[in-house]
Amino acid sequence: MRTALDYFLELIYFNTTSNENSTTYPSSPGQIEILRHLAGLVEELELETTLSDKYTLYGRLPANSPELADLPPLGFIAHVDTSPAASGEVKSHRRVTYTGEPIVINAESNLTLSAALFPELDKLVGHDLIIADGTSLLGADNKAGIAEILALFTYLQANPQIKHGPLRLAFTPDEEIGAGTRYFDLELFDAAMAVTVDGGLCPEISCETFNAAGAVVTVRGRSVHPGTAYKQMVNAATLAARFAASFDPLDTPEETRERQGFLHCDNICGDVTTATINYIIRDFDIDSFAERKEQIRRRVEEFNARYARTDIDAPPPFSVEIKDQYLNMRSYIEREPTILRLLDRAFAAPEITPKLIPTRGGTDGARLSELGLPCPNVFTGGGNFHGPYEYLSVQDMERAVELLRQLVIAHADSVAL
């Protein structure tokens, strides 16, 4: 019987980096390739399998006991893409037993995995860690989640004595660039509740995400030969730098943690004529979230008042477009708390004490919860996502699969809830 690790080590060699500049969906061909491959694996598990024309993969497993057939279906969701923050071209992997001593990931690049840099490793002494070679990320986010879901269904099909209700799975593209649920078909998925298996370290669980928005500030300049530019040139690149530097330097991802929000200058590019500044806006509190968006709008007005040229024919140099991306899923999940009660039971069975954390990011579940499908997030056993320091604990991966098994059992017993 194939294990989660077996599936994972097969999947990491598909390059599924999403591309936020792409005009296609999915945004990269590797995602189509892996989804077609996964469709074959799901069919082998004898699930009713549908790969939509928008390349979301759905699987259905009916209840294996008549008295459970009418239970509200339970779903499991993961995404196939990896972050564009690092290369997704995994060249090799290693399995290393962590003794507490630093692990050299790549000597040439001086990449070392150590508790001095990543204190959470202190809890993983004795664990077997899967790492890549330092030239790419590993892909545990979120191929570990896919592998754990596949391992769950593999186990259930091999053990028909485990009674279960109707179950669903879905694998989505482009989650990392905020488009994982753009074409998600709730009717086709047909679940009443679900979990995303897209978290980090054991025993983390989250029913809360950031409120999220993106802002694009455009700066328009006026190009004149530098030798004759006096009082004529409007340098968009210079103005963009001043704008970016005008915000609180402590209100950034690298200076915030836990329940603190932030304003992240994600990218600046441009020249004398035109420059753009991309921001991501994040906050758990909806009022603070609204204030952060308003802060950018006010700053644009202030800079237009300061730098607008009235002596030459030029429009106001600054403009901004802000788009909401997803909302904190907590209030939506609390309206339909059955999935949280099931998770409480699931954690209790293997005697894992859950660690409830706010997700400092977003998941497919954030948007799905908003649409009426309550969808908290559970751990995969991975850490240091989106970069070459990424790792996956084999032991915690097994614990994740066990949690999913216990969730299925709790769901089958939920007629008593």
Ordered per-residue pLDDT tens for the chain, 417 residues: 999 999 999 999 999 999 989 999 999 999 999 999 999 999 999 999 999 999 999 999 999 999 999 999 999 999 999 999 999 999 999 999 999 999 999 999 999 999 999 999 999 999 999 999 999 999 999 999 999 999 999 999 999 999 999 999 999 999 999 899 999 999 999 999 999 999 999 999 999 999 999 999 999 999 999 999 998 899 999 999 999 999 999 999 999 999 999 999 999 999 999 999 999 999 999 999 999 999 999 999 999 999 987 776 768 999 999 999 999 999 999 999 999 999 999 999 888 899 999 999 889 999 999 999 999 999 999 999 999 999 999 999 999 999 999 999 999 998 544
- The strand ranges marked E within 183-291 are 193-197, 204-206, 211-220, 262-270, 274-283
Instruction: Write out the residue limits of the CATH 3.30.70.360 domain(s) in the chain.
Output: 211-325
Q: How many CB atoms lie within 10 A of CB 276?
A: 14
Q: How many CB atoms lie within 10 A of CB 91?
A: 11
pLDDT of residue 156: 98
Sign of the dihedral defined by the CA atoms of residues 378, 204, 86, 237, in that order = positive
Q: Which helix (H) or strand (E) holds 408?
A: helix 394-412
pLDDT of residue 415: 59
User: Using an 8 Å Cβ cutoff, are 316 and 306 in contact?
Assistant: no
Distance (Å, whole) CA 294 – CA 287: 11
Cis peptide before 26 (omega within 30 of 0): yes
In what side-by-side order are the strands of the sheet with 74-79? 48-51, 57-61, 167-172, 74-79, 193-197, 377-378, 204-206, 355-356
Q: Which helix (H) or strand (E) holds 356?
A: strand 355-356
Contact residues for 120 (Cβ-Cβ < 8 A; gap 6+):
201, 383
pLDDT of residue 315: 81
Cis peptide before 235 (omega within 30 of 0): no
Contact residues for 10 (Cβ-Cβ < 8 A; gap 6+):
none
Going from the C-alpha of 387 to that of each of 50, 262, 390, 395, 409, the distances in angstroms are 32, 21, 6, 21, 36
Whole-prediction pTM: 0.90
Going from the C-alpha of 267 to that of each of 149, 220, 277, the distances in angstroms are 35, 17, 6
CATH topology of domain 211-325: Alpha-Beta Plaits (3.30.70)
Instruction: Write out the residue limits of the CATH 3.40.630.10 domain(s) in the chain.
Output: 4-209+328-416
- What is the Cβ-side half-sphere exposure of residue 269, based on CA atoms within 13 angstroms? 4
Q: Is 52 helix (H, G, I), strand (E, B) or coil?
A: coil
Residues with a catalytic annotation lie at 81, 175
Distance (Å, whole) CA 40 – CA 230: 66
Q: Which residues of 377-409 are buried (b: 16+ CB within 10 A; e: fewer)?
A: bbbbbbbbbeebbbbbbbebbbbbbbbbbbbbb
Give the pair of three-digit tokens for residue 371.
């649409």
Distance (Å, whole) CA 359 – CA 365: 11
User: Using an 8 Å Cβ cutoff, are 81 and 22 in contact?
Assistant: no
Q: Which residues of 169-193 are buried (b: 16+ CB within 10 A; e: fewer)?
A: bbbbbbbbbbbbbebbeeeebebbb
Give the pair of three-digit tokens for residue 10.
């097969």
- As a whole number of Å, the CA-based R_g of the chain is 24
pLDDT of residue 417: 47
Of 3.30.450.20, 3.40.630.10, 3.40.50.2300, 3.40.50.150, which CATH number belongs to 4-209+328-416? Answer: 3.40.630.10
User: Using an 8 Å Cβ cutoff, are 317 and 236 in contact?
Assistant: yes
106 has which bridge partners? 111
Distance (Å, whole) CA 199 – CA 76: 13
